[in-house]
Structure 1
Amino acid sequence: MDGETRAVVAEWLLSETGAEEIDITGAKLLSGGAIQENWLLDLVVRGGRLNGLEQAVLRTDAASGVDESHGRVEEFRLLSVGFEAGMTVPEPLALEPTGSITGKPFYIMQKADGTANPRMLTRDAALSSHPIGLARQIGREMDRLHRIQPPRPDLGFLGSVPSDPAAQRISELYGFLDSLPKAYPALEWGLRWLELNRPAPSRAVLCHRDFRTGNYMVSDGKLTGVLDWEFAGWSDPLEDIGWFCARCWRFGADEREAGGIGSRADLYAGYEEEAGSELDWSLVPYWEVLATVRWGAIALLQGERHNSGAERSIELALTGRKAAEMELDVLQQIAEIERTRANV
């Protein structure tokens, strides 16, 4: 971010916050923004509601995107709803919805301490000895999120509430795969299995739909912020649980089945502590299969953007290669579920 852009953002933020003086002394592009860009801003703020603030994060669109993701205006509203519900999220500070300042809409939020790097988090031996347990904290956090239920006029952009979230997800995934130039039988077979084994629908709640290691911040073993709300929507609460536990988001730490950072038992216990009741945990493997098929389809769509020549990118090309792993995972996951059923 050049000096001229920093100056216009500072001037805009001045008017938004009632400050007497704001100077953006530095801006650093943070890693991990394949779909959005995140800029760490060094600030000098005097007066107004942000008086004394030293750092914040500006979030805006990156060059690449995913069609199903929300824009920055909608994401700011989702972040605001989570903050108001008492979730551990960075406080949303200001929204520029028009793109007239920098050429793209953006919002500014409080900086969360720590790291979101999944390979650091899943290899941090200190996490297993933390007295509270990160997985348990995340379980509690998920319940706070799932207490946000329709009707919510302020979240009208999420569309109608699905009567059967699993059926809707399956239909969406068929559409994704049908849009590709060739067939992927293992993922298609996984979708058919999901159709035939679809559980009875439960009441839809607000789900993050990308709640995984890599999309939350941790400092000293404690959760400091849930990030990246661009895929949130009304769904079955088990969609978030299954996505978090799916093997593709353990980053090689398969023995820690809850996101590569803890046990399922701790994740579930944290959820139950906050909710005062439990979900039907026996259905989580079903939602893990759906998570794996979904990630495989997304990976293929990303890879096709490169392969088609529409957007040449080594990152998109490598993402597309991930689909093969998801195909194998789908076959192995379903085989394990069927073996367990046969032995009951």
Structure 2
Amino acid sequence: MDDARRARLTEWLRAAAGDASLTITATSLLSGGAIQQNWALDVSGGRAWVLRTDNAATLAVSHGRAQEYALLRAAFAAGVTVPEPLFLCEDAAVLGAPFFVMRRVAGTAAGHRVVRSDTLGGGREACVRALGRELARIHSITPPRDDLAFLGAAPADPCAAFIADQRSALDRQRLPRPVLEWGLRHLERTAPAAVPPVLVHNDFRTGNIMLDENGVTAVLDWEFALWSDPHADLGWLCAKCWRFGSDAQEAGGIGSRAALYEGYGSVDDARVRWWEVAAHIRWASIAVDQAERHISGVERNLELALTGHMVPGLEWEILRMVEARDAA
């Protein structure tokens, strides 16, 4: 962070915190965050904070920082393990884009490290039970909520809403995606009955959950949250594409599905499996979108280009999962 931005930030934080003597003693850009930037701030008085703001390129479906701040506040109040949200700045003149500040927590979220550890989160089975409890707390938040009005009206049928949204996403693609269309048709034919929608994190997976040796220290990255079927979060976490190679551990590559369900409470396994197929279709669609950003020249980026190479593997998994469901 350059000196001019740091000086503007210091003045703003002094006013927000009510501390005229506040100083920033160190800043560092944290790793991760393809859509957002996360800056570690060391602040006078031994305070450790994180500032979260936009990267140059964002996704249209991603909430803005004011909306993510509101989601963090709602989750924090519901007892979800999230970093405490402290301050929100919507004045782009300070840093060039809106941002918010939250307390910094210790731990690791790196998926490739998490799935190879037998001790993070208090051990594999204890960890996924704790993840189930976190999801249950998130899903205790129900519409309507004035503070979350930006989420819009909750869908009467979350499964039908997902299918319509994904079909629209595929229709705007430059090239046809017959496997994804076929997978969507399968979901349409087998959709379960509607359930009352709740707040769904919508990206609850290994890589967005911070752990230390004792347990969960933070649920991160709320920019895709929406009202939907609670089983959508369970299906996303259990999807093979988020196991980081630890395929035998069905709950995020960390532990067993049974332990996750035990921590969560009442679970309809068949509905979770439906949402697992949905998860692969959604991630494949996102991967196609990201590759197109590179191919079109809008944003030349090797990581975006490589993301497109995941699509055939995701399509293969969709075919395998649908065949297994049809044979059952």
Q: TM-score, normalised by structure 2?
A: 0.97
194-203 or 20-29, larger mean C-alpha shift: 20-29
Aligned to 1:41: 41
Out of 131, 135, 145, the position equivalent to 1:138 is: 131
Deviation at 1:26, TM superposition (A): 1.5
Superimposed CA distance per residue, residues 202-222 of structure 1 (whole angstroms, 9 cap, x where no aligned partner) = 000000000000001101141
Secondary structure, in 3 states, of the residue corresponding to 1:234? strand
Out of 240, 253, 265, the position equivalent to 2:258 is: 265
Q: Is the 8 A contact 2:121 2:213 kept in 1?
A: no
Aligned to 1:281: 269
Aligned to 2:50: 57
Aligned to 1:291: 279
Deviation at 1:127, TM superposition (A): 4.1
Aligned to 2:145: 152
Unaligned runs of 5+ in 2: none
State yes or no: 1:168 paired with 2:129.
Answer: no
Mapped partners of 2:70, 2:14: distance in 1: 21
State yes or no: 1:15 paired with 2:15.
Answer: yes
Secondary structure, in 3 states, of the residue corresponding to 2:93? coil
State yes or no: 1:311 paired with 2:299.
Answer: yes
Aligned to 2:217: 224
Q: Is the 8 A contact 1:128 1:262 kept in 2?
A: no
Q: Is the 8 A contact 2:120 2:214 kept in 1?
A: yes
Mapped partners of 1:187, 1:105: distance in 2: 36
Mapped partners of 1:132, 1:186: distance in 2: 35
Aligned to 1:49: none
Task: Find runs of 4+ consecutive structure 1 residues off by over 3 angstroms.
Answer: none
Mapped partners of 2:36, 2:15: distance in 1: 25
The amino acid that maps onto 1:37 is Q
Aligned to 2:242: 249
Out of 291, 315, 321, the position equivalent to 1:333 is: 321
Secondary structure, in 3 states, of the residue corresponding to 2:26? strand
Q: 1:131 to 1:242 in 2, by over 3 A?
A: closer
Q: 1:305 to 1:132 in 2, by over 3 A?
A: closer
Aligned to 2:190: 197
Q: Is the 8 A contact 2:121 2:215 kept in 1?
A: no
The amino acid that maps onto 1:266 is A
Unaligned runs of 5+ in 1: 46-51, 273-277
RMSD value, Cα: 1.3
The amino acid that maps onto 1:288 is E
Mapped partners of 2:246, 2:109: distance in 1: 16
Secondary structure, in 3 states, of the residue corresponding to 1:81? helix
Q: Is the 8 A contact 2:50 2:102 kept in 1?
A: yes
Q: Is the 8 A contact 2:125 2:255 kept in 1?
A: no
State yes or no: 1:180 paired with 2:149.
Answer: no
Mapped partners of 2:142, 2:122: distance in 1: 35
Mapped partners of 2:214, 2:114: distance in 1: 9
The amino acid that maps onto 1:310 is V
Mapped partners of 1:244, 1:132: distance in 2: 15
5 Å-filtered alignment, 1:97-108, equals 97-108=90-101
196-205 or 124-133, larger mean C-alpha shift: 124-133
Mapped partners of 1:206, 1:125: distance in 2: 31
Deviation at 1:318, TM superposition (A): 1.1
Out of 88, 112, 115, the position equivalent to 1:95 is: 88
Q: Percent identity?
A: 49
Deviation at 1:128, TM superposition (A): 8.6
Q: 1:3 to 1:235 in 2, by over 3 A?
A: same
20-29 or 8-17, larger mean C-alpha shift: 20-29
The amino acid that maps onto 2:21 is E
Superimposed CA distance per residue, residues 89-138 of structure 1 (whole angstroms, 9 cap, x where no aligned partner) = 00001000121201100000011211110000001122497397110000
Aligned length: 328
Superimposed CA distance per residue, residues 49-86 of structure 1 (whole angstroms, 9 cap, x where no aligned partner) = xxx42x11000001222111100000000000000111
Mapped partners of 1:128, 1:142: distance in 2: 15
Secondary structure, in 3 states, of the residue corresponding to 1:259? coil
The amino acid that maps onto 2:22 is I
The amino acid that maps onto 2:42 is D
Q: Is the 8 A contact 1:162 1:204 kept in 2?
A: yes
Q: TM-score, normalised by structure 1?
A: 0.93
Q: 1:131 to 1:177 in 2, by over 3 A?
A: closer
